[in-house]
């Protein structure tokens, strides 16, 4: 269960970092001469990769990466529409549905490696 918590936390950090970059691009906040969104995004994405590596220890790489990518893309797309006024089209919504279906099918068809007993 910890692996899935790490994976979902990695998704959340990736999404937050991506959206913070967009919000800062709209503003102009800087820290140490760099746009604040760039720094925040770098920290969030870096932490996301660390958590993703923890998820890889228990979840097959194909499943963990597919969930990370699909959930991140779906959330960024939906939150972009809700928070930033970006437009969702029928092909876009259909693509997100296909992405989610593909991730679910991959998860159903992949088994975790057998645990080694000492």
pLDDT in tens, 49-59: 999 999 999 99
Give the model's confidence band at 26: pLDDT under 50 very low, under 70 low, under 90 confident, else very high.
Answer: low
User: Does a structural domain hold residue 116?
Assistant: no
User: Does a structural domain hold residue 70?
Assistant: yes
Radius of gyration of the chain (CA): 17
The pair phi, psi for residue 104, each rounded to 5°, is -60, -45
User: Does a structural domain hold residue 91?
Assistant: yes
User: Does a structural domain hold residue 88?
Assistant: yes
What is the tens place of the pLDDT at every residue in 61-117? 988 999 999 999 999 999 999 998 899 999 999 999 999 898 888 888 876 555 545
pTM of the model: 0.80
- Parent domain of 95: 2-108
Q: Which two tokens stand for residue 98?
A: 């296909």
User: Does a structural domain hold residue 115?
Assistant: no
In DSSP terms, which residues pair with 35 in a beta bridge? Answer: 30
Three-state DSSP class for residue 35: strand
User: Does a structural domain hold residue 77?
Assistant: yes
How many folded domains does the chain comprise?
1
């Amino acid at each position: 269960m910890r692996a899935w918590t790490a994976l979902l936390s990695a998704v959340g950090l990736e999404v937050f970092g991506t959206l913070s970059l967009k919000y800062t691009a709209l503003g102009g906040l800087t820290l140490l001469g760099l746009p604040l969104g760039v720094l925040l995004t770098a920290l969030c994405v870096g932490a996301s990769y660390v958590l993703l590596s923890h998820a890889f220890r228990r979840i097959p790489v194909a499943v963990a990466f597919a969930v990370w990518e699909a959930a991140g893309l779906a959330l960024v797309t939906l939150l972009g529409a809700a928070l930033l006024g970006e437009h969702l089209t029928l092909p876009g919504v259909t693509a997100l549905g296909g992405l989610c279906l593909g991730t679910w099918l991959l998860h159903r068809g992949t088994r975790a490696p057998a645990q080694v007993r000492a």
